[in-house]
Amino acid sequence: MERLRGDDPVRLGPFRLLGRLGSGGMGQVFLGRTSRGALAAVKVIHPGYAADPHFRERFDREIETARSANGPWVASVIDADASAGQPWLATEFIAGPTLYQAVRSNGPLPTRAVQVLAGRLSEALAALHAKGLAHRDLKPSNVVLAEDGPYLIDFGIAQAGDATPMTHTGTVLGPPGYMSPEQAQGEPAREPSDIFSFAGVLTFATTGRGPFGDMSGPVAMLMKISNDEPELGRVPEWLRPVLIPCLAKDPWSRPSAAQLVSRCAPSLGALAAWPPPAVTEATASGELTTVINPPSPASARRSRRLGYALVGCVAAALLLIGAVVMFRSGSPPYFSTLDDLRAEISSQLLSDRSYQMTTTSEWSAIGAEPLKVTTEGSVRLDGAGPSAQLTSRTVEPHTSPSSTPASPPPGGPGSAGTAALDTTPTPAPIVMIITPQQAWVSASGWPNPARIPPGKNWIAVPPDSADPVIAAYSREIRSQRELANPAARFSEYGDAVSLAGSAEDILEGVPTRRYTIRLDLAMAVQRESSPLVRRYLWEAVQGGEQVRDVLLWLDGRGRPVRVRSELRMNGDSITVTDTRYRGWGQAMQINPPPADQVLVDPPK
């Protein structure tokens, strides 16, 4: 980043400009900040274009196109003004190095990181293409590797497929090494061009160079793209079958982005391994957590001088590690009321619709071995409520009961009358499916599987039951539903729940805001409709617990990234649940199990 120059604007719309990020054929890109502290990339159109009234009309249409481009793994448009003296477009920052910087600094990405990159980019393109949009400038420097996944940025030259493009036919647009043959020949670039560039980006991620090399001049490169076959000898064998059809010379012979989504879906193991070392090293260096604090100037001139100093300090820090950083919107949003907080979370969750959830629960009790249960899951949210599929579970002893202990797992200590729990660390397959109305658990994990009829692989769990095993599962399902939609947590308790406070925090190197949500347990007992949950709440009150605090962390986009709660029971046990959220916007479908495989009346 460079500091502002003497002829640069100080403010555009609601954004105070802090520094220069870069420039392109269309104009200059600045780092901007709102009065609430949100950072943005503010793109200012070159005066030569701004003087053309026809260009302003096209730019206005382009703004509307860019607004509609918001989707999973795409940097969102925040604001824009085509009628301003200097037309501008602002998009959110993404915290992390670009793919180009990461590979140049650390070499090709690890295999699992490439799997996540392929999956997320295909999801981003599928969402854009479904709206009739094409990015048209997909390249390694337009992909940012953030803590929660890779993001597609710089949608400033995107266009509606049936609209007049802002760049005229015959104009070569994009970096030569990553453009499609039709772009190289000056033809309009549409959705298939993004697919060709997608393959080029993945080739770079795995080899450090594009599919047509990187040593040719622009004219020679355009000739190679139009006439030569791609150089994929260094691409891993598992990836070549995906890339080869994407690099077809005929644009309509390439697969669609929707087809790539199913072929490139990353495994949970790959998602768990994200972020790659290039991102974690940048985080450890403090690069991603740098916040540019705005001065309170007595005059515009003093503001400019202080801005120079602050930006200069940040630029010096970035130069030490040789990279320019993209920031996700700086300060996370602040909400003073619980209703506003819930509304923001609900809006963000319904916008992303799906995400990954990892819950680590530790349970400790007097006279019992402490246990830790780690559960991985996928969540899909719509207006009816959350659906979840828990895909793995690991149960093992833990040795630090004061650090983080969850409710006793079914069949474990605290579930009277059930079989003893094997505490050997053992990963399991799908263990639970939850929809807004029903829930099922895998028969393979039932404490007495020998009594389950052949062919019945799933057991339906009713909301309330006197049976200790079913009651334990029912309580866990209730907990998972709450964790899957933090905005709805405790919503049925009315004034028994309050917002106790908030504070800025850094979570794994990313700026967040931590909210404390407080539940009055005595009041909650009176409002709880489930006899099972009411009994647990009452036992907590009898044990001397008056309130339960739930800590909730939001990222710069207002999305929950962590929820942590603690519950003490009768003074002799403690349950601590810690849930992390990631993988936003992943395409998924969660379906009930086949009806003929479901046992409705489970064995006692």
pLDDT confidence of 109, banded at 50, 70, 90? Answer: very high
**Residue 410: pLDDT over 70:** no
In single-letter form, the type of residue at position 451 comes to R
Higher pLDDT, 482 or 106: 106
pLDDT score of 122 more than 90: yes
Question: What percentage of the chain carries pLDDT values higher than 70?
Answer: 74
The answer to whether the annotation marks 43 as part of a ligand binding site is yes
User: What's the confidence (pLDDT) of residue 200?
Assistant: 95
* 464 contact partners, CB below 8 Å, separation of at least 6: 471, 474, 530, 531, 532
**Partner residues linked to 579 by β-bridges:** 359, 563
Alpha-carbon 103 to chain mean position? 22
What is the model's pLDDT at position 260?
94
- The arithmetic mean of pLDDT across residues 330-336, rounded, is 69
What angle, rounded to 10 degrees, do the helices at 191-207 and 257-264 form? 30
Q: What end-to-end distance do the CA atoms of the chain give, in Å?
A: 66
Q: Which residues contact 573 (CB under 8 A, 6 or more apart)?
A: 363, 364, 365, 366, 368, 414
pLDDT of residue 319: 28
pLDDT tens-digit map of 188-247:
778 999 999 999 999 999 999 999 886 556 667 777 888 888 999 999 999 999 999 999
Distance, in Å, from the CA atom of 267 to the CA atom of 199, rounded to the nearest integer, reads 20
> Over 80: is that where the pLDDT of 258 sits?
yes
pLDDT in tens, 264-319: 988 767 887 888 888 877 655 544 433 333 333 333 333 333 333 333 333 333 32
pLDDT confidence of residue 325: 32
Q: What is the pLDDT of residue 455?
A: 87
Which of 7, 52, 81, 137 is an active site residue? 137
Catalytic site includes residue 505: no
Q: What mean pLDDT do residues 328-353 have?
A: 72
28, 150, 163, 202 from 124: Cα distances, Å: 25, 10, 21, 14
Whether 370 contacts 398, CB under 8 Å: yes
Average pLDDT of the residues in 390-401: 63
Mean of per-residue pLDDT scores for the chain: 74
The CA angle 509-104-234, to the nearest 5 degrees, is: 120
For the four alpha carbons of 80, 82, 84 and 89, in that order, the dihedral sign comes to: positive
**pLDDT, greater one: 291 or 603:** 603
Residue 595 contacts by C-beta under 8 Å, 6 or more apart in sequence? none
**SS (HEC) of 558-602:** CCEEEEEEEEEECCCEEEEEEEEEECCCCCCCCCCCCHHHEECCC
Instruction: Give every strand in the sheet of 432-434, ordered side by side.
Output: 497-507, 510-520, 547-554, 560-569, 573-582, 354-365, 371-382, 385-397, 432-434, 439-442, 458-460, 598-599
Residue 365 to residue 408: CA distance in whole angstroms: 10
pLDDT at 110: 93
